[in-house]
Structures are given as C-alpha cells and as structure tokens.
Amino acid sequence: MNLKQTLEQNISLALSDLAGETACQALVNHSKSSQFGDYQANGVMALAKRLKQNPRELAEQVNAKLELDEFAERVEIAGPGFINIFISNEFLTQQLNALDKSQLVDKTNAPQTIVIDYSSPNLAKEMHVGHLRGTIIGDAISRTFEWMGHKLIRQNHFGDWGTQFGMLITHMSEQDGATTELSNLEVFYRAAKQRFDNDTEFASRARENVVKLQSGDKQCVQLWKSFIDVSIQHCQELYQKLNITLTENDVVPESFYKNKLAGVIENLDNQGLLTLSDGARCVFLDDFKNKEGEALPTIVQKSDGGYLYATTDLAGIEYRCQDLHADRVLYVVDARQGLHFQQIFAVAKLAGLTNEECSLEHLSYGTMMGQDGKPFKTRSGDTIKLIDLIEEGIERAYSQIEAKNPDLSELEKQEIAEVVGVSAIKYADLAKNRNSDYVFDWDIMLSFEGNTAPYMLYAYARISSIFRRAELDINADYKVIVDGSEEKELALKLLQFTEVVDALLVECFPNQLCLYLYELAGTFMSFYEVCPVLKSEGEIKQSRLGLCQFTALTLKQGLSLLGINTLDRM
RNA sequence: GCGCCUGUAGCUCAGCUGGAUAGAGUAACUGGCUUCGAACCAGUUGGUCGGGAGUUCGAAUCUCUCCAGGCGCGCCA
C-alpha cells in the first residue's frame, strides 16, 4: 500500500469512528502548495455537512483521534476544515533507506491476467504516423502491467483477412517477379488497388480468389502467406527501431479467428438473438439508435454470408475471456471506433461470451489532426510514413548532439541520436492525455526543449556523470538522511513513484507517469543547483549520493515503463 | 436528427473521485557558467477556464442550455 492509500485508510477510519458510519472517505490528495503540507484530507467538510456539525470542530475531533506520528511531523487544521499533513523527515529517511533498489515500488499481491490488443497494423500496408499512438500507448501500458507482476498477454490484431487480399493475391500472381516489389508494400498495394478499381475482369478474378483463399486453396494460401511474412517483418523492424516490445509471437491476426466465426453465429442464433434484416443477420439492442431513431443493428453476417469486423471481435472476446481467462481485456484503439466497441461489448455480454469477472475496456485515443486543425486526411500518398518520422527525429537529435557535444566519437553520437530522437517522438505523444485529438506537427513531436524526454535523459546523464566523475558505484548502498527543503521535496517525490504506477493501472493514462517523471526531473534539477554532492562531506555526501542514486533509478525505471531508454552521457 | 469527444495564458498542453490565491512548457523580458554537464536553474510579464443559468459552504471539474470545432451512426476494417 502506498503512502497516499495508507493515509486515506487511516483518516477514513477515524472519520468512520466519529460518524458511526462505515464508508467515510478521507479524500486524501497531494497538497497544492507547501504551506498546506504534503498531503491534505478534504473529506471532513462533506461529512460535517451530513452530520450537520461545524466542519472546523469536526476536523479538530478527527485530528485528536488520528495516530499519524509514524508519518507526520505535524498535522494542521486549516480553512473550512482541511486536514493538512506534513510528512516528517524521519519517515522519509526510514522509507528511502528501506526501499528495495531493484523494485522501487510495491508489486501486486493479486496478479491478474490482462489481455491487451494494440498496434494492429494492416497486411501489405506500410505503417504510418496514424499507427504511432496506439502502438506506443499500448506498449507503455503493457510494460507497466508486466512490471507490476500481472500476467500480461499482448495481442497484435493484424489485419490480414478480408476482401482486399483477393486483389493483392491476384495482382501478385499475374506479375512476373512481383516478389521484389513486396519490398515496397505501399506501391504494390496501390498498384493492385488501381487495377481493381479500373479493370472489371481483374476485379472479378480478385473476388474469385477471395473465395479460393477462404476455402483454403493451396496456391492462394501460399501467396497470401508471403504477404504476411513480409508485412510482419516490416512491422518488426519498426518496432525494434521504436523500442516496442511486440514480437512475432504476439501476432494474433484476424485470420486466427476464421474457423471460429461460424460458431459465433450459431451460438447467437441458438440463443435467439439474431434477426434477419435485409438479408443480413443482426443483433438488435435497444440502447443503440440509428439516424432514424430506430434500433441499431450490430451486423454479424452479411447478406452474402460473409463475416465482418464485429464477428471477428466477438470471436476474439470469447477466446480472450474463455480460453485465455482474462480478467481484463484492453483495446487500445482510435476513439472513432467507440460505438463499435460499445456494441460488441454489449452483444458479448448479452450472449454470455464473456465470463462474469472479465472487464472489457476500450482505451481510446484521439484523432490525429493536420496543421489546420482539421482531420489529417489519409488521401493516398499523403500520410507520413512512420519510418520517415523516426529518421527525421534521429537526424535532428544528431545535429543537436553535434552542436552541444562535438567531442564524442562518431559511434557514440549515432547511438545517442537514436535514443534521443526516438524518445522525443514517443514522449511527445505519451505526455498528452490520450483522449484528446492531437495536431501532427514535426516541431512539437521532435522538440528537445522543456517538457520532453531529452530533459529527463539529461537529468539522468547528469547523475551518471556525478558517479562517473567520482568513480563511485551507482548501485552501491548510500545511507540517506533527509534534511533541508530541497532534499525533502526530492525524497517525497521519489516515494510517490509507486502511487503513480498504481494509478496508471486503473485508468491507463500514461501521461500521468510522464508528468510525474517530469516533475521528478525538475525537482532533482532544483536540488542539484543548491545541494552540491561531491563537494559535501561525510554523511551529507552519502545522503546526497543516495538521493541521486534513487532519482537515477526511478527515472530509468519510469522511462523504461514508457519504452524509453536512458543514456549515461549525451 | 441522435450519440460521443473537444473548447483553459499568444502557441502546445496539465489539472485525478467537486476543495484553499487555476499550473507547466514555449515565446518575450531579467539574472545566474574560473564552482558535480547551461539540452540547466532562479525570477518577471501573460488567463472573465467558449457564453449563460443552476446545484453546493465551495465549480475548470457535476446538471441544463446555447455557440464553435471534430468524430461516429446497416452489410469496410
């Protein structure tokens, strides 16, 4: 249990005691200003109102009951009835010295099985900036669950099964030496699409090939597989460049569910949930309305007998809940698919495809906009390739390093540029609340000033430099003695890491972790200005080294949860 | 038409279940490197939180309404 939760529990108990009620909430939070302490409890005012008591007096009574000596230097009642808690240096000292340097947080003692669906690129299409957000947000969330001790199952829902693949197979089989063209997937896809749109005979051959593919025709399947291999390889190269944890083993494509789809329909049919509407088989739910205000169907089988996205997703829910025994299934998908997920979650629950405890969650993220504030149009050829973005980031980082630190070797400069460039791109995205739409802007995404990953990498490099210069081991034990305002602030911040990580697993907003790390780095920078480390002596020096060490470890671990590597020098 | 999201400093964004004088970065200005890395630190300037009404001891946060923008709404994924 983290400090905030401990205080919440303690004060809530005291409130309940006084009120004779069971569920009183202390509402403990970080204080906005240091004059109001480190934590404040806001729950007294609401309780006083219910009990029709003077809030100030009630707060005094609560305070008299509280036993916070272990944590607090003092507790003050302020304003209409705030309880302000000033954490003691002794407590911070004791906690930091007791902290396990390899863990830094309290891991879960109730591990859950979490299935997370993210990235989801498409077969035979090059990844573009539109894929960036889901991929890096999903990856940060995955790393965090995993590190906290949950059983995390990544599923990359590769789009590999649909009518467009008939067109690709046909185009490929009719081209001499077409395999070489696979190296440029985008060109190949567009060429096939053009023929499909303009050549009716080609289009009908393509449709025939879809049927052949889906019925397992050997030649078609073989051609299709070659697409998959090339596409996956392309994605893996990008994942590696972006430091994304997804591997080929995490690919669970749409085609994985192809033999389960008929069973899903049969199941729904047996339960009497299907209605035939204009030849299509649908589930009608009263909660959803269409343009005319009538019930909106979730179409699960087309009038020609074909299956849809919704069908695959229903099969996916059943598989993840029943076979993988997920406690939570997280879908990191664009916000525009919100209604789709509401529908299939509702159908899945109605049809009993999910077990009672399984929570289905759409972790949506905002749409990417153009510079003009309007949606970034995906007209053919108009999207920015992910690989181009990454390379531009690395180039910009390189010229920064060249300017700031020209003495480094060429190899070092290149390695540093890759970390700085990639981390700047990832951080720019992760640091925003994922719900908001965001404007695609080279300068913002590749900025190295202020609230950016390089700022934190710089803080880390400075600390490394201290230990390197003094020839001290950054992993040794240094006894911390918290004393003085800068040191206290840093110590408290360090202990709050676990609070932030705990919160991240509830609602899955990585920007909360970004904000914390940014504040930690900032707090360290202030400490660094006023508290010389190597020039101090004795136990003060040991203590400051300890604070530096914990800051470095926390930054490294926190950034690693975001999928960002640290550098010893930059 | 219905539903979802967004509107906070010139710009880019935080602001957690309602809490104390609304916070950062950036830009502008000022000061700080013979002193552990200046990709830094300290400070100044900058906001009727889209408008209005309501609930409340207390509202950027909750409710209603209006305005502006974005997205979604039957056989694509």
Token digits for A517?
Answer: 């790390």
Query: Between the CA of A509 and the C1' of B18, what is the distance in angstroms?
Result: 21
- Confidence (pLDDT) at A14: 92
Query: Which nucleotide's C1' sits nearest to the alpha carbon of A548?
Result: B36
Query: Between the CA of A52 and the C1' of B64, what is the distance in angstroms?
Result: 29
Query: Which nucleotide's C1' sits nearest to the alpha carbon of A535?
Result: B36
Q: Which residue is nearest to nucleotide B77 (CA to C1')?
A: A309
Query: Between the CA of A92 and the C1' of B77, what is the distance in angstroms?
Result: 53
Query: Between the CA of A417 and the C1' of B37, what is the distance in angstroms?
Result: 17
Count of CA atoms in the C-beta half-sphere (13 A) of A56: 3
pLDDT (tens digit, 9 = 90+) per residue, A241-281?
Answer: 999 999 999 999 999 999 999 999 999 999 999 999 999 99
- Confidence (pLDDT) at A279: 93
Sheet holding A151-155, edge to edge: A151-155, A113-117, A328-334, A359-365
- Confidence (pLDDT) at A378: 45
The answer to whether A190 touches A164, Cβ cutoff 8 Å, is: no
Query: Which nucleotide's C1' sits nearest to the alpha carbon of A27?
Result: B17
Query: Between the CA of A489 and the C1' of B43, what is the distance in angstroms?
Result: 20
CA distance A44 to A56: 8
Neighbours of A515 (CB within 10 A): 15
- Confidence (pLDDT) at A514: 96
SS3 category, A127:
coil
**Strand B bases within 7 angstroms of protein beta carbons:** 1-7, 12-17, 19-21, 23-27, 35-42, 57-58, 69-77
Q: Which residue is nearest to nucleotide B11 (CA to C1')?
A: A444
A495 closest CA partner among A538, A550, A556, A536:
A550
- Confidence (pLDDT) at A392: 93
CA distance A423 to A393: 9
Query: Between the CA of A290 and the C1' of B74, what is the distance in angstroms?
Result: 9
ipTM: 0.96
Scanning A305-385, the segments in alpha helix (DSSP H) are: 309-318, 338-350
Query: Between the CA of A80 and the C1' of B52, what is the distance in angstroms?
Result: 30
- Confidence (pLDDT) at A382: 62
CA distance A223 to A468: 55
Query: Which nucleotide's C1' sits nearest to the alpha carbon of A364?
Result: B5
Phi/psi for A369 (5° steps) reads -110, 160
* Domains within chain A, CATH numbers bracketed: 3-87 (3.30.1360.70), 164-252 (no CATH)
- Confidence (pLDDT) at A381: 46
- Confidence (pLDDT) at A375: 64
Query: Which nucleotide's C1' sits nearest to the alpha carbon of A466?
Result: B36
* pLDDT, block means (10 residues), chain A with 570 residues: 93 89 87 92 91 90 92 93 95 96 93 96 86 95 97 95 84 72 75 86 87 86 88 94 97 94 96 94 89 86 91 97 96 94 95 90 87 58 82 94 92 96 95 88 86 95 96 95 94 96 94 96 96 95 97 97 96
- Confidence (pLDDT) at A178: 58
Query: Between the CA of A549 and the C1' of B35, what is the distance in angstroms?
Result: 22
